[in-house]
Amino acid sequence: MMGTSGKISLRDDEIKVKYILASGPGGQNVNKVATAAQLRFNIKDSPSITDDVKERLIRLAGKKVTVNGELIITARRYRSQERNRQDAIDRLVDLIERAATKLKPHKKIKLSLAARQRRLENKQRRARKKQLRQAVREW
């Protein structure tokens, strides 16, 4: 069991990690050893997370989610497999925790009449100031 947040915990069989060749620092080691970790997590088939969290997770992940609902995270920041694997898992946990927190609905507020007038007066004052900065045109 891999814990994420207080309520959500993922089973180890839900996450698949594959190691691939990485570009970047490492010299000849880059050409010989597959150090980058590619983590795959099937969001749609996961029994560990609720439907509303799944929807938010798909929206948050964006291009990292395939058509089949599989989240792919590639970690190649470090030179060792284990650190890249842990980095990918940490990024998955962070994404799930962000998807699990519900945002408060935005309340549209209505400005008072005095506040609207102040805003319009400030706009007019800025517009006059910018007009004075312009070059004088000869007619």
**pLDDT tens digit sequence for 104-120:** 888 999 999 999 999 99
Establish if 71 belongs to a structural domain: yes
Distance (Å, rounded) from C-alpha 8 to C-alpha 22?
Answer: 31
How many CA atoms does the CB half-sphere of 135 hold within 13 Å? 3
Q: Choose from 21-25, 30-34, 124-128 the range with maximum mean pLDDT.
A: 124-128
Torsion of the alpha carbons at 68, 23, 18 and 77, rounded to the nearest 10? -90
- Using the structure block, give the residue that is written with the tokens 């007066």: 121
User: Structurally, how many domains does the chain consist of?
Assistant: 1
Distance (Å, rounded) from C-alpha 81 to C-alpha 104?
Answer: 39
- CATH number at 53 reads 3.30.160.20
pLDDT by residue (tens digit) across 30-70? 667 787 888 888 888 887 888 888 888 888 888 888 888 88
pLDDT by residue (tens digit) across 69-99? 888 988 888 888 889 889 988 888 888 888 8
Establish if 120 belongs to a structural domain: no
pTM of the model: 0.66
24: pLDDT confidence band, cut at 50, 70 and 90?
A: low
pLDDT value of position 118: 97
Q: Which domain holds residue 82?
A: 2-100
Torsion of the alpha carbons at 43, 45, 48 and 54, rounded to the nearest 10? 40
Q: Are the C-beta atoms of 73 and 57 separated by less than 8 Å?
A: no
Establish if 138 belongs to a structural domain: no
